[in-house]
Amino acid sequence: MTPAHPYSVDDQKTLLRVAHQSVQYALDSGNPLRIDPALFSATLCEMRASFVTIERHGALRGCIGVLEAVRPLVVDVAHNAHAAAFSDPRFPPVQAAELDALEFHISVLSPAEDFPVASELELLRTLQPGIDGLILEDGFRRATFLPSVWESLTNPRDFVIHLKRKAGLEDDYWSARMRFKRYSTISIGP
């Protein structure tokens, strides 16, 4: 038996509606949507970090989030939906004609935990495909992959190589300065 989702169906629908409204409001007004957390359930007002992923016809259209909780979840989702739609440097800003074709996916992150490993081999052996989100830090370089990335990069070696590339590092790069953190996510989406 699968465990119950930690967010009620109403809370999930509310977060998806807020993500959509955030983009709609910005398209209509040119401004970010302001959220009053007092209007939402206590669960949605907990300090949580999130990522909002936007897809159009099954293709990535934007993905932005934060790794540490800095505001109530409902406010974080509105902020990240706006950023994913208009500030993801990989894509042009969303246009009004696209809005009806957009799908929103929300990932609510657990607090990241230090993930000490002595070697790349140990990292590859201890990663949990499909479960672990991973943060790589090396000096000023930092990159993360959400657990959903395992859907397209199912092999731990490929997952780590692509994460290194995202951080601007060579495929075979390894340094004693490298630090890793891992986290899990709760997925909310259509």
Tens of pLDDT, residue by residue over 148-175, are: 999 999 999 999 999 999 999 999 999 9
d(CA 65, CA 57): 21
Tens of pLDDT, residue by residue over 174-187, are 999 999 999 999 99
What domains are defined for the chain? Answer: 9-109 (3.30.700.20), 113-185 (3.30.1490.150)
pTM metric for this prediction: 0.90
Report how far residue 95's alpha carbon sits from residue 104's, in angstroms, rounded to the nearest whole number. Answer: 15
pLDDT of residue 122: 96
Q: Which of 96, 78, 80, 99 is nearest to 88 (CA)?
A: 80
CA 147 vs CA 6, 59, 95, 120, 168: distances in Å: 17, 17, 29, 19, 20
